[in-house]
């Protein structure tokens, strides 16, 4: 069982930056594909970014490409999401997730989420 805890959310003005962190508790973090998702009010949860177990391969949603950067530190069992040039439409609850297996597919573990609010 893997427990994921997100942090770093908050209130930020448009154009600003935030860095989200997701800390894992298990021993096999380095084997997981890690992803970030978000859910805006009244909308379905959507994919934001993912990173391979080694950190070499990353994938981004078109809506965040060039603004967000996903990274990981396997020694610290933590995955990050650096968010720059934030827009009001980035307002959402952000979730991290872990997948034990191939780079794509369903995720096995989810965090509780951290709220990001971007105001103009």
Q: What share of the chain is helix, strand, coil (3-state, %, to 5)?
A: 5, 50, 45
pLDDT in tens, 19-59: 999 999 988 899 999 999 999 999 999 999 999 999 999 99
Token digits of residue 66: 């060039």
CA dihedral 94, 99, 105, 108 (to 10 degrees): -80
Question: Residue 28 forms beta bridges with which residues?
Answer: none
pLDDT of residue 103: 83
pLDDT in tens, 64-90: 999 999 999 999 999 999 999 999 999
Reported as a pLDDT band with limits 50, 70 and 90, residue 99 is very high
CA dist., res. 15 & res. 119, Å (int)? 9
Beta strand pairing call for 114-119 and 10-13: parallel
């Amino acid at each position: 069982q893997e427990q994921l805890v997100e942090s770093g959310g908050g209130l930020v003005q448009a154009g600003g930056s935030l860095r989200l962190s997701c800390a894992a508790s298990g021993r096999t973090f380095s084997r997981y594909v890690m992803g970030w998702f978000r859910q805006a009010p009244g909308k379905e949860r959507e994919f934001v970014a993912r990173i391979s177990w080694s950190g070499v391969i990353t994938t981004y949603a078109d809506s965040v490409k060039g603004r967000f950067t996903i990274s990981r530190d396997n020694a610290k069992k933590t995955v990050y999401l650096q968010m720059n040039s934030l827009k009001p439409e980035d307002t959402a609850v952000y979730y991290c997730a872990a997948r034990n297996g191939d780079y794509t597919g369903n995720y096995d573990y989810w965090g509780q989420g951290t709220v990001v609010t971007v105001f103009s």
